[in-house]
Structure 1
C-alpha cells in the first residue's frame, strides 16, 4: 500500500457525496458526487451555508445541534447512520443517509464537520410502498 494518500483525489473519486463545513456551517468541500446528488456545482456550494440542502422546516433543529456540537466538540452521531430529508437545487425532496465526523485544528479545537452522504430516495420510496401494500393486505385479512 502507498505510504501517503492524496486525500483530494480520494474525495473526488468516491461515489458518495462528501461535504465538509467549517465551524460556522459554511461549505468548504463539495465533491462531484455532491454535485450530482444535490444539483449545485462546487462553485455554487462552496462558501454557502448548509441550508442549501436542508429543508426549511428542519433548519432550526439542525442549527441548534450543529452549534452545540461545535461548542462542545461532541456529537452523539459519531458512528450512527442518520437518515433525514434533504432538498435538491430544483426543490424536489430527497431522502439521504449519512455519517458525520468532527474535524479538528492543530490546536485540537473543533474546526468543522465532514459528512459522507448517500441518496436513498428510491429505497425510501420502495419501503414506503411496501409498508402501504402490507397495510392494505392486513386490512383485507381483518375484514374477511
Structure 2
C-alpha cells in the first residue's frame, strides 16, 4: 500500500500558486508560490479579500461571478484555463493563467473555491512583442507590394 500523501506538504511544494477562498471570498489558503508570485506573505493574505490581487477595473465583474457561483454551486469554467490580468503587491501588472475548482461542505453546499495559478507574464509579453513585430513586418511587406 502506498504511503499517504501529506496534502499540506504537497500544496506548499508546488511551483504554482494555490489560493483558496471561502464562500464570502476571504483567502483561506495561500501557499509559498502565491507569496512569490503576488508578493504578499501568507500572514498578509490570509483572511483578506481577493481584491489584493485583482486589478480594480476587474473587481465588479469578478465578484458578480464569484457570488453567483457560490449561490448556485456551479461554475461555468470547470476545468477551463482562464487567463486574466492580476496585480502584484508592488503594483506591477501580472498576466496569470489558472484553473478553478469548487469545494463543498459535508452537506454538499459550496464552501470554497480553490485556484491553481501560474504566472504567464513573461510569455504574455513575448507573445505581444512577437505579434507587434509580425504586424510591423506585414505592414512593411504590404507597402513594398504597393510601391513595386
Match of 2:119 in 1: 119
Match of 2:139 in 1: 139
Alignment TM-score, normalising by the size of structure 1: 0.98
Q: Unpaired runs of 5+ in structure 1?
A: none
Match of 1:41 in 2: 41
Match of 2:6 in 1: 6
Q: Give 1:2 deviation, angstroms.
A: 2.5
Give RMSD over aligned pairs: 0.8
Structure 1 runs of 4+ with >6 Å offset: none
**SS of match in other structure, 1:67:** helix
Q: CA offsets per residue over residues 57-105 of structure 1, 9 Å max, x none?
A: 0000000000000000100111100000000000000000000000000
Count of residue correspondences: 144
Query: Aligned partners of 2:88 and 2:79: how far apart in 1?
Result: 25
Match of 2:50 in 1: 50
**SS of match in other structure, 2:2:** coil
Query: Aligned partners of 1:2 and 1:103: how far apart in 2?
Result: 25
Q: Which has the larger radius of gyration?
A: 2
Query: Aligned partners of 1:75 and 1:3: how far apart in 2?
Result: 33
Q: Unpaired runs of 5+ in structure 2?
A: none
Q: CA offsets per residue over residues 14-43 of structure 1, 9 Å max, x none?
A: 110000000000000000000000000000
